[in-house]
Chain A
Amino acid sequence: DAKTTQPTSMDCAEGRAANLPCNHSTISGNEYVYWYRQIHSQGPQYIIHGLKNNETNEMASLIITEDRKSSTLILPHATLRDTAVYYCIVRVGGSQGNLIFGKGTKLSVKP
């Protein structure tokens, strides 16, 4: 699976959009981009995933660049409960293969 690079930490003001970047320059054509988050010692929680097109669900939006070498997770209106470590994971074909967690981004949402 392709390696990902994320900033170690980010801050965001409550109510503002949180934009979390991820670089995955070695991604292959059949690899998806997945985002999970882990709120303090809880089990990781799925957020969203995509292949080429931008995706949106009730939690977030995922913007993938045209060359697929990077992506951005957007939390449109961050709340204090969104404070967590966010992991960007690249994996082959849908949910095949295991999740390999790298160094995620610690997002701190501040009042």
Chain B
Amino acid sequence: IAGITQAPTSQILAAGRRMTLRCTQDMRHNAMYWYRQDLGLGLRLIHYSNTAGTTGKGEVPDGYSVSRANTDDFPLTLASAVPSQTSVYFCASSDSTGATDTQYFGPGTRLTVL
């Protein structure tokens, strides 16, 4: 069972370039999430999707977009990367119909924008 996979593992990107971070889960979870983690700030929610075909904005959505064409995939796109988007990005998923709706995290993508 793979759980959640993310690609790439790490990336160095020039400012102004477009970048898509990929996230795929095989647990058939209905809900998926994107977080960024910065030193001293903890995990912050960027965007989320409660079910395929719907998305919502989290705490820090500016500069990012997402789509949810199917249950398994939830890509995160940076249209024009800026240095402040240097961070570690985690994708997560949960079964929001379950008793606890626990979120499970992918391995992360370390992104550096120069």
Partners in one complex: no
